[in-house]
Amino acid sequence: MRISYDPNKSQRNLQERQLAFDEVKDFDWQTAIIWQDTRFDYPEPRFLSLGLLNERLHSLCFTPIEGGIRVISFRKANKREMKQYEQERNVSL
Q: What span, in angstroms and rounded, lies between the C-alpha atoms of 29 and 17?
A: 21
pLDDT: which is higher, 75 or 93: 75
> Contact at 8 Å (CB) between 30 and 89?
no
Q: What is the mean pLDDT of residues 23-28?
A: 97
Give the model's pLDDT for residue 72. Answer: 97
pLDDT tens digits along 26-76 = 999 999 999 999 899 988 999 999 999 999 999 999 999 999 999 999 999
Give the model's pLDDT for residue 92. Answer: 87
When divided into structural domains, the chain yields a total of 1
Q: How confident is the model at residue 91 (pLDDT cuts 50, 70, 90)?
A: confident
- Domain that residue 71 falls in: 2-89
3 state SS of 74: strand
Q: What span, in angstroms and rounded, lies between the C-alpha atoms of 62 and 71?
A: 5
Give the model's pLDDT for residue 24. Answer: 98
Give the model's pLDDT for residue 14. Answer: 98
The CATH number of the domain where 52 resides is what? 3.10.450.530
Give the model's pLDDT for residue 93. Answer: 79
Give the model's pLDDT for residue 10. Answer: 98
